Amino acid sequence: MTSRTGNYNDRRKWRGGGPRNKYGQNIKVKGTTVERKDADTGTSFGDAVEANTSKKTPKKGRARSHTDIPGVPFKMGYPVARGPGDDTGDYLLIKCVSYVPPKTGLVSQREKVYAKRDGTFQKKEFKAGDKLTATDSRGTYDITQPIKGTIRLKNQGATGAIKESGAKPVFYIQLPIPQDVNDSNVVTWGDDSMNIFQLAGVAAASSVMKNPIQSFNAAKELFSADAFKNVTIDEVAQDSINAAIAGKAIDALGGNIRPNSVLGRSTGVILNSNLELLFGGVNLRTFPFNINFSPRSEEESAMVLSIIKALKSAMAAKKNADVGGQGGVFLRAPDVFQLRYMSRGRDHPFLNSIKDCALTGMNVNYTNSGTYATYGDSTPVSIQMSLTFKELNPIYFEDYQNPLPGVGF
C-alpha cells in the first residue's frame, strides 16, 4: 500500500513571523526583532539556538546538557509560526533538568575545633588554643564538630534537592495548553479496629518504654490480692473475660479460635472493635497530556522531530559514559521535568501548580489521521504525542503556606 503524500502548501499557507533558522525559530536581522520572552529565565525564547552536532561523550557523573544529544536545540516550541499576539496567550512550559537524589541524614551547625593542650595530631605539632586542621586528598581544611543542640534530621525529597542544587536546565519546550487539563488530589484513609485488650496492651507497652520502673510497680499493684477488692464486675463481663481467656488458651494449642467467636457463642456479646477511619498515607499525582502535531512547514517538521527526540532521550536511563554494552554495575536516573502553565509570560493565575515530575510513559502515534499519510519529505501529516508525568514528591499542607498562583497544587 503506497503512502499518501502531499506538500506543506496543501494546507493553509504557512506564515512566518520573520526570518527563521533551520529549526524554525525566530532570528534577529538588521532592523527587525521578533522575540518571545521565556518567563523562567528572562531570556529571549525566540533567539537563534543552533543544535550542537558534536558527538563528544559526556564525562562520567556530570549532569548532561542539550549539547549531548545531536539535533536537540536548547529551546523548542510548537507551533513555530506565531502571530504578534501569541505572547499574551496560554501555553505549557516544560523545563528539563538533571535528577538530584533526595537528601536524608543528620545535619547541624558546626564550629571549629581548637586544641585543649599541647600535642600532636596527624604528625603535626599543636599548642593549646591552636585551631586544628587536617590534610588529605582534598587538601588542608579546618576540623569542625557539631554545635550542641543544633543537630536535627534532614529529610529532603528530590524536589527540594533539585531546587537547592540550582540544577541548570537541559532544554525548554513550549507547547499549547493540552486538552482535558485537570488535577486530582488523593490521600489514603482506611478502616482500623482495635479492641480494649489490644488498646490496653499498646498503652502498657508505651508506658514501659517511657518509664519502665513506674510501669513495673503499677503492674505489681494491679495483680496484687487487693487490686480488685472494691471493684464490681457484673456477671456478663466476668463470663466474657473467662470465655475470652479460654479461647486464647485453646488458640495457643493450635485451635485458631477467635475471641469474638467464643464470646458470641457463650455469652452473646463481642468485643467492641472501636472501628474508626484513620489516615493511612499520601499519594503521588499523575498528569497525562495529549499533544497533537500537524507540521505546516519544513522548519516546523524539524521542530516536532526535535521535541520528540528530546523527550525520548531525557526519559531514558543513563549508562556509565565509559562502559559499553549494557553498562556497568549501576545506571543513573533519567532527567526530570518542571511543568508550568503560563499566561502572558507568567504563571497561570488560575490553573494548578505541579511539582517536579518524572516522565514515566511516552507514546507517539504517527498515524493520528487514521491512515499512514506523509508529506514529500516523509514527515507524517498528523502526530499525537501522549505523555504521562508523575510527581516526585507528594503534596503537603505546608506547600500551600508559600504564596502560589491560582488554585495552588
Q: For position 186, what pLDDT does the model report?
A: 92
CA dist 339 → 302, 323, 374 (Å)? 23, 33, 31
Q: Which residue has the cell 545531536?
A: 70
E strand or H helix that includes residue 124: strand 124-126
pTM to 2 decimals?
0.69
Q: Give which of 306, 234, 236 is closest to 264, Cα–Cα.
A: 236
Q: For position 112, what pLDDT does the model report?
A: 84
Strands 4-6 and 373-375: parallel
The tens-digit pLDDT sequence of the chain (409 residues) is 445 555 665 543 333 334 444 444 444 433 333 333 444 444 334 333 333 333 344 444 445 555 577 878 899 999 886 655 555 578 999 999 999 888 776 777 888 888 888 888 777 888 888 888 888 777 788 888 777 877 777 777 778 888 877 788 999 999 999 988 999 999 999 998 887 767 777 776 666 566 665 655 555 555 554 555 555 545 655 555 665 555 555 555 455 667 777 677 777 777 788 889 999 999 999 999 999 999 999 999 999 999 999 999 999 998 876 666 676 778 889 999 999 999 888 899 999 999 999 999 999 999 998 999 999 889 999 999 999 999 999 999 988 988 888 899 9
CA dist 257 → 195, 220, 247, 253, 270 (Å)? 16, 30, 6, 10, 14
CA dist 112 → 120, 244, 262, 334, 360 (Å)? 17, 63, 68, 39, 46
Q: Give which of 309, 291, 296, 299 is closest to 365, Cα–Cα.
A: 291
Question: What does the alpha-carbon distance between residue 283 and residue 279 come to, in Å, rounded to a whole number?
Answer: 12
Number of other residues whose CB lies within 10 A of the CB of residue 76: 27
Q: How many CA atoms lie within 13 A of 332 on its CB side?
A: 16
**276 and 194 Cβ atoms separated by less than 8 Å:** no
Q: For position 358, what pLDDT does the model report?
A: 96
**115 and 129 Cβ atoms separated by less than 8 Å:** yes
Assigned C-alpha cell, 190:
482506611
User: In DSSP terms, which residues pair with 318 in a beta bridge?
Assistant: 332
Rg for the chain, CA atoms, rounded: 33
For 324, residues 6+ apart whose C-beta sits below 8 A from its C-beta are none
3-state DSSP assignment of residue 195:
coil
